Amino acid sequence: MPGYQHKQGTIIHDIKSLLKERYKQGFPIIKEIIQNANDGKAKTLKFGISQGLVRTAENPVSHPLLTTPALFFLNDGAFSTSDREAISCFGIDANAGDKGKIGKFGLGQKSIFHFCEAFFYVARSEDIPNGYGEFINPWALVTS
């Protein structure tokens, strides 16, 4: 028996509704970044603005968006494979059963879309010692 289909634009509609209904005022992304650092038991949190990476022969820069100005957030908290999965899901995520975590609804990180239409993240921790990075683009149609 087939399940629901995900048409292109569905996630964009959901993000617009989320931003309009739950994140109307202020800068919720700052609160969410702090909550994510807290959930990962980070000891430090840093943020700033990058003017973009410069392409050189030694630094080919793999994505054109990395050459433009951007906000960045860094923390030294734990990052698990379930955190990796949660970032690319919309709605309840792996943190839902963890009463010790603030971010258990899978929606807060999506407040970043007040500032952008897509984002990169890079993470490394004990669970992912070689590191992992991904480009999250809700405009991309994902097929299974």
For the chain, first and last CA: distance in Å?
A: 16
Distance, CA of 107 to CA of 101 (rounded, Å): 13
- Residue 129 located in a structural domain: yes
What is the number of domains present in the chain?
A: 1
Query: pLDDT tens across 109-126, in order?
Result: 788 888 888 888 889 888
Residue 17 in any domain: the answer is yes
Domain that holds residue 93: 10-136
Q: In this structure, is residue 142 part of a structural domain?
A: no
For residue 128, being part of any structural domain is answered with yes
| Residue range 43-82, pLDDT digits in tens | 999 999 999 888 888 877 777 878 888 888 999 999 888 8
Torsion 30-69-124-118 (CA) sign:
positive
Residue 117 in any domain: the answer is yes
φ/ψ region of 134 (left if φ > 0, alpha if ψ in -120 to 50, else beta) reads beta
Task: Note the pLDDT tens digit of each residue in 3-54.
Answer: 777 677 788 888 888 888 776 666 678 888 898 899 899 999 999 999 988 8
In a domain, 2, yes or no: no
Q: Considering the domain boundaries, does residue 124 fall inside one?
A: yes
